[in-house]
Amino acid sequence: MKRYCGRTATAIIRYPQDEILLIKRDTVPFKGFWALPGGRLDEGETTEQACIREVKEETGLDVEIIYNLGDYHEHGFMDSVFYDYYPACFVVKAVGGQIIKQDSEVQEAKLFKLNELPSPLAFEHDTMIKDYKKRIDPNYQA
């Protein structure tokens, strides 16, 4: 059995039209699922540095961190893989580049309206997005 564990960084890229950028994964676990851009930290990297690097690698966008939404725990068993990740989720804004699928781990990158997201999302990304919606709209009810 394969095992993927460790600290990761994930990004919610803020767009003014109430849209969010999701990527469709091309690797296990969760191959074919939509997810937020992000990935594991390289040795010596902070979560902030990993977030910026991973977004660039997966989407082609240069981003700037606005704030840390929080820390999460993703774990389970899927596609013959046990996963146990501890992602930091950052809200970021694009400051350069354009959306171009850059990474061999990504099938597709696409903007979705916040109220029209595909389901199910990979890992705890649904929870992260709900927390983001609560933060930008105090009247939001999950």
Question: Within 13 A of 113's CA, how many CA atoms are on the CB side?
Answer: 2
Write down the catalytic residue from 48, 108, 116, 124: 108
Q: Would residue 108 show up in a list of annotated catalytic residues for this protein? A: yes
Give catalytic residue positions.
108
